[in-house]
Amino acid sequence: MLLTISTAHVPATDLGYLLHKNPARLQTEELSFGKAHVFYPEANVDRCTVAVLLEVDPIALVRGRRGPAGDGRQLQQYVNDRPYAANSFMSVALGRLFATALSGRSKERQELVDISLPLNAKLPAIAAGSGSELVRRLFEPLGYRISTESGLLDETFPDWGESRYASVEIAATTRLRDLLTHLYVLIPVLDNEKHYWVSDDEVEKLLKRGEGWLAMHPEKDLIVSRYLKRQRSLTREALDRLAEETPEIEENQEETRNQEEQQVERSLGLHEQRMGTVLSVLRGLGARRIIDLGCGEGKLLRYLLADPQFEFTLGMDVSWKSLEVAKERLHLDRLPERQKDRIQLVQGSLMYRDQRLSGFDAATVVEVIEHLDAPRLEAFERVLFAFARPMHVVLTTPNVEYNSVFETLPTGQFRHRDHRFEWSRAEFETWAKSIADQYGYEVRFQAVGPQDQMLGAPTQMGIFSRVGGAA
């Protein structure tokens, strides 16, 4: 069983420091199921690859295990895919060989640990079952590009059909510890071997390794269930505990920060103008089914609910607390039946490809992108424009040029402490046009709020429409 991880980061041999494994040496560890070797097929300044090769000993696996004699499964105990197809043994090996890297520490190069590197991992054999669909569902939401290859079971006998094994390659610019963590959890999920002992502490391991990403993954139910080999009580326990993973402190901070932003902009009544403009654009587009991404406390949702043109609205936000406030403000519990069916709130992250986001006429993204840091913005672009693909996207963000007009805002400071950037009109337009080109949309721009001759308007809006209409 083989896994390779490559990087083209310069110097690529930094990989050795990050993994605590010297590229010049072959290292071998004895594990309960066999041997794990680590070596580097290439270690140059511009490209470095580490390989983890497991020699699984099928006899050691069977030893000590009892089963009914003569039931025809004896041969299968010795001749099976366990030594070859990537499975939970690989996770055990990763945990043992790269414990320090997995926990985000590096003795000699701590500064490297938090840097995103161009990384590429290859698994030459996984028991993918029905093609690459599962690989995509698992890895794409985490921002990976996927390629898979499968072939005939035997080229001399095409009648035998396709092999149920595939080779998989995933690539992303990400931190090495994240890649290792995702592989650690998702390799056993890809492997569908059911008859395998799962102990209680697997729940702990899963939650520990899933921290910060699993709770928000759109396939979390499937991941948890397959990781725990479909043991119902363990699966339930893990899912319940994931549901409790709410970033309470951060959200309180979020609330005060939101107030700050409102104060800066209040003098202009900008918020209301923004909502008004978004609504009139949506009406003009004839949109009926709307998804409001990063809906916050539901300000836009309230307007959408009031206009019968909008047949259905889905509000999505990462913050549970904001959604609770939205629910309260919209009186969702007390709405008449007819109205209730027109709106739904869900918790979710814009970083993750999510089936629930498909099939809408328009998506609104009001004052959200500036809260995302650069690598995440890229994931969001793919989630929205490549996967959800609504007919239209109405997106607003501050125009930084206008900031000097706000008397209470010190020079050089953003309107909101949580903003990762604020763009000039030229920056926003360049970004929006390149996104439109890349994903087959057209984009036009509209200013929102009082216009200054030199500085433009406080809010800028991009209205994207899919080229060629429905398809």
Residues at the site binding ligand SAH, with contacts judged by CB under 6 A: 294-296, 299, 317-319, 322, 349-351, 366-368, 371-372
DSSP lists the bridge partners of residue 35 as 30, 55
Compute the least distance from the CB of residue 365 to ligand SAH, in Å: 8
Residue 227 beta carbon to ligand SAH: minimum distance, rounded to whole angstroms: 24
247, containing H or E segment: none
| Shortest distance (Å) from residue 221 CB to ligand SAH | 19
CB of 316 to ligand SAH, least distance (A): 6
Residue whose CB is less far from ligand SAH, 260 or 341: 260
Closest residue to ligand SAH, judged by C-beta, is 296
Nearer to ligand SAH (CB atom), residue 12 or residue 142: 142
Q: What's the min distance (Å) between Cβ of 386 and ligand SAH?
A: 16
Partners of 166 in beta bridges: 126, 150
Which strands, in side-by-side order, build the sheet including 312-317?
343-347, 312-317, 289-293, 362-366, 392-398, 459-466, 441-448
Q: Which is nearer to ligand SAH, 183 or 295 (CB)?
A: 295
Identity of the residue, 219 or 367, whose beta carbon is nearer to ligand SAH in the bound complex = 367
Nearer to ligand SAH, 203 or 295 (CB): 295
Q: How far is the CB of 368 from ligand SAH (least distance, A)?
A: 4
In 3-state terms, what secondary structure has residue 88?
A: helix
Is the Cβ of residue 126 or residue 293 nearer to ligand SAH in the bound state?
Answer: 293
C-beta of 9 vs 217, nearer to ligand SAH: 217
317 vs 361 by CB, closer to ligand SAH = 317
Q: Least distance in Å: CB of 352 to ligand SAH? A: 8
Q: Which is nearer to ligand SAH, 300 or 435 (CB)?
A: 300
- Smallest gap from Cβ 73 to ligand SAH, in A, equals 48
Report, in Å, the least distance between residue 464 CB and ligand SAH. Answer: 17
CB of 373 to ligand SAH, least distance (A): 10
Q: Please write down the HEC assignment for all residues of the chain.
A: CEEEEEECCCCCCHHHHHHCCCCCCCEEEEECCEEEEEEEEEECCCCEEEEEEEEECHHHHHCCCCCCCCCCCHHHHHCCCCCCCCCHHHHHHHHHHCHHHHCCCCCCCHHHHCCCEEEEEEEEEECCCCCCHHHHHHHHHHCCEEEEEEEECCCCCHHHCEEEEEEEEEEEEECHHHHHHHHHHHHHHHCCCCCCCCCCHHHHHHHHHCCCCHHHCCCHHHHHHHHCCCCHHHHHHHHHHHHCCCCHHHHHHHHHHHHHHHHHHHCCCHHHHHHHHHHHHHHHHCCCEEEEECCCCCHHHHHHHHCCCCCEEEEEECCHHHHHHHHHHCCHHHCCHHHHCCEEEEECCCCCCCHHHCCCCEEEEECCHHHCCHHHHHHHHHHHHHHHCCCEEEEEEEEHHHHHHCCCCCCCCCCCCCCCCCECHHHHHHHHHHHHHHHCEEEEEEEECCCECCCECCEEEEEEEECCCCC
Q: Of 354 and 361, which has the nearer Cβ to ligand SAH?
A: 354
**Least Å distance between CB 436 and ligand SAH?**
21
Token duo for residue 155: 């080229």
Closest CB to ligand SAH among residues 88, 459: 459
Q: From 125, 130, 140, select the one nearest 82 (Cα to Cα).
A: 125
